[in-house]
Structure 1
Amino acid sequence: MDADAIIIGAGACGLMCAVQAGYLGKRVILLEKNDQPGAKILISGGGRCNYTNMYATDEQFISENKHFVKSAFTQWTVDDTISFFETYGIDGKEKTLGQLFPEGKNAKDVVSVFTSICEDFGQQLICNAEVSDIELLADGFSVKYEKGNKTRILKAPKLVIATGGLPIPKMGATDFALRFARKQGLKIVETAPALVPLTITGKDEEWYAHLSGNSVFCKVSNDRIAFEENILFTHWGLSGPAILQISSYWKRGEVFNIDLLPHQNITELIETERKHNGKTLLSTLFNRFYAKKFTDALGKYLPIEKQVAALTKVELELIEQTIHRFMVKAAGDKGYDKAEVMRGGIDTNELSSKTLECKQVPGLYFGGECIDVTGWLGGYNFQWAWASGFVIAQNL
């Protein structure tokens, strides 16, 4: 045997697994197909890396088994993540909604923490390694990989698949984990892009495109969940934090609602304005809450150049409907090229929630994004990656 375990994929989960295995005196070999580890870490948060969320619990994760993550999050908590990085000189600074970023540092520093610890422990990291075949042995696993023009084979009693999901294929994302899981007869929950911008086509396409670059604080909801954050109009449709969040709960053909003024009642505001100055134009009132370009765009639907005192009951109802129940039927999403994560993946029923070991194949572990566990926007998916890497390492 060449090591105690072979880890395929040197992303967040694989790196944490290698480090934690090192603490336990276990020797691992990390195989990474890219020319450097931590590709998605390096681009996360615009290169600043939102590495966890202070408020992360099992409630912010989507899975067919919503209880699956509880064991891992008990074994490796948010406090553990914060303490781990603080130990290596990375202090967290909250940006908004519990999102922690490295204060005065960036994503490269986060990756450096792992590579330096791996070096200290003698954990072998092999980049530009393309795994071409995995064979199950009586006493473990044989992994064949290509590096340069040479083919090499490694053997170990334990194998960890931490190759991520399908988003951002230009960064090396593939369906490797899903293909290998299917080969072992494991069930796969249908996959789809998540935390992804949504597209608008048809008669409203031009209206959205005209507003490209405009951001509005809203409450975006469907019959399952609601998020209060900014939406961003784009030349193809909608993006921004609230849209990315709702996209994980959206399916093609569904309609969702946008409340364009979530903390105030537009009808009450109009009535108050009528009492003070009935000659105020509706556009003037809107300009107190929105950019002028957005107010002007609402003129397609509403009588914005009418004085508030002159608004009819029907018009008031239309205003209330438009501002608080702006219905959107997206045509689709921007796909895996623009998605931050993948929804669905390896069915959690195939794995032990306590160890992440495959029930059908002893010694085989899956961690991170390839499993049917999808977190919200804001550091949650990293927390799952760290936790799953830690859990696997304890059982190698």
Structure 2
Amino acid sequence: MVAKITKQTQFDAIIIGAGACGLMCAVQAGYLGKRTLIIEHNDKPGAKILISGGGRCNYTNMYASAAQFISQNEHFAKSAFAQWTVEDTITFFETYGIEGAEKTLGQLFPANGKAKDVVQMFTDLCDQLEQGLWLDTRVTDVAKNEDESFTLSYERYGKVSTINTDKVVIATGGLPISKLGATDFGLRIARKFGLKIVETVPALVPLTITGKQQSWYEQLSGSSIFCRVWNEEISFDENILFTHWGLSGPAILQISSYWKPGESIYIDLLPNQSILDIINNEQRTNSKQLLQTLLSGLFTRKFAEALGLYLPITKNLATLSKSDLETIDNLIHNFKVTPAGTKGYDKAEVMRGGISTDELSSKTLEAKKVPGLFFGGECVDVTGWLGGYNFQWAWASGFVIAQHI
């Protein structure tokens, strides 16, 4: 879709990036009678929307608030979330025929649709509201002019050209995932204008295990267990998934956003029960039962056998010593893992860090040092949990910016 806009002066703003933030910004600007142009370097809009939630798009979370976001300023997102609430997101989607269905933990998915329907909704609205969308177009530079306007240099259809505008919105996302066209464009433009950047790292990302322990994880590849995973900052009760290179699954992705290289994380393999209470009860009625048999009833046989590396699984319950019981209790409820690293940006859901919130107005998301330049979505130092939180930030930041361009 390319809107029929012939004069550059018809644009109130140019939005770089046709992801969740950029699309929402264009639509909300259209509601206000503003004309925008979205410039996207991919050949289709909403690349990350299309793959989110396994192609179903977990488009918000019913419990989203600033508390589920990581930022050097924990209060920064509060203004945006007050201006555009979860209820606003739900109503917006319902207005255009996308009803939400809760999966787990407040995650909302389209009840009778998929991610492509979400993208189609936005592109249809952009068309109806006469918002421009240029695909296969790469912005190479953003320059500030003496009259406070901006000149964007871009490549389109093999030609190099420029376009002028009074307002620029950077909604280019973060560094994950390169095959979807992820770049550091937003960070580069921020640095060009002298804005501080909070160090970026992969977040919501699988963790790797190397060395002598790797083979133990490899043998369990594909096994999934409901656990409590925690570190000194936070804990999450969700499934973990063993892989041939380490650990993944919702709980691991969540804790990865709070993990730093060299640190350990801890796993309670039986978060809602006490392994010692279970053993004590079984000792009264079935003391000759092997520990392996008991563990096979709590986990899978495969996992119970793997625990033999650490536990005396061939002993029967009656012969477990006090030392054995301490070892069992510690391993089941405080399983220590020291990851070697992460799977990197190409396997990460989002990026932690980004443009420092110190540089932006929390009420407008405009750069304090560069009037007319706005940043929204993932490129800002606001990183949400797994489960629709990052989409809520994208919608909210897009809405907020639209009010001020």
The normalised TM-score by structure 2 is: 0.97
Give the secondary structure class of the aligned counterpart of 2:266. strand
Residue 98 (structure 1) aligned to one of 90, 96, 106: 106
Q: CA deviation at 1:152?
A: 2.6
RMSD: 0.7
Q: CA deviation at 1:139?
A: 3.5
Amino acid at match of 1:259: D
Q: Tell me the equivalent position of 2:4.
A: none
After TM superposition, where is structure 1 displaced by more than 6 Å over at least 4 residues in a row?
Answer: none
Residue 288 (structure 1) aligned to one of 297, 315, 318: 297
String of CA shifts for 1:164-208, please: whole Å, max 9, x gaps: 000111110000000110010000000000000000001100000
Q: Tell me the equivalent position of 2:120.
A: 112
State the distance in 2 between where 1:387 and 1:229 align.
27
Residue segments in structure 2 that go unaligned for 5+ positions in a row: 1-8
Q: Tell me the equivalent position of 1:299.
A: 308
Pairs within 5 Å for 1:1-396 = 1-137=9-145, 138-396=147-405
Instruction: Indicate conservation of the 8 Å contact 2:141/2:189, yes or no.
Output: no
Q: CA deviation at 1:341?
A: 0.2
Q: Tell me the equivalent position of 2:6.
A: none
Amino acid at match of 1:39: A
Give the secondary structure class of the aligned counterpart of 2:347. coil
State the distance in 1 between where 2:296 and 2:140 align.
59
State the distance in 1 between where 2:28 and 2:148 align.
23
State the distance in 2 between where 1:153 and 1:104 align.
42
State the distance in 1 between where 2:238 and 2:111 align.
23
User: Which segment drifts farther, 20-29 or 136-145?
Assistant: 136-145
String of CA shifts for 1:129-153, please: whole Å, max 9, x gaps: 0111212121411111101211232
Q: CA deviation at 1:217?
A: 0.5
Residue segments in structure 1 that go unaligned for 5+ positions in a row: none
Give the secondary structure class of the aligned counterpart of 1:59. helix
Q: Tell me the equivalent position of 2:3.
A: none
The normalised TM-score by structure 1 is: 0.99
State the distance in 1 between where 2:222 and 2:142 align.
47
State the distance in 1 between where 2:94 and 2:285 align.
55
Amino acid at match of 2:127: E
Percent identical pairs in the alignment equals: 67
String of CA shifts for 1:273-326, please: whole Å, max 9, x gaps: 101111111111111221111011001110112111110000000000110000
State the distance in 1 between where 2:345 and 2:61 align.
24
Give the secondary structure class of the aligned counterpart of 2:374. strand
Amino acid at match of 1:327: K
Instruction: Indicate conservation of the 8 Å contact 2:291/2:314, yes or no.
Output: yes
State the distance in 2 between where 1:351 and 1:135 align.
19
State the distance in 2 between where 1:304 and 1:374 align.
42
Q: CA deviation at 1:2?
A: 4.1
State the distance in 2 between where 1:63 and 1:139 align.
30
State the distance in 2 between where 1:139 and 1:323 align.
62
Instruction: Indicate conservation of the 8 Å contact 1:2/1:155, yes or no.
Output: no
Q: CA deviation at 1:104?
A: 1.3
Amino acid at match of 1:74: A
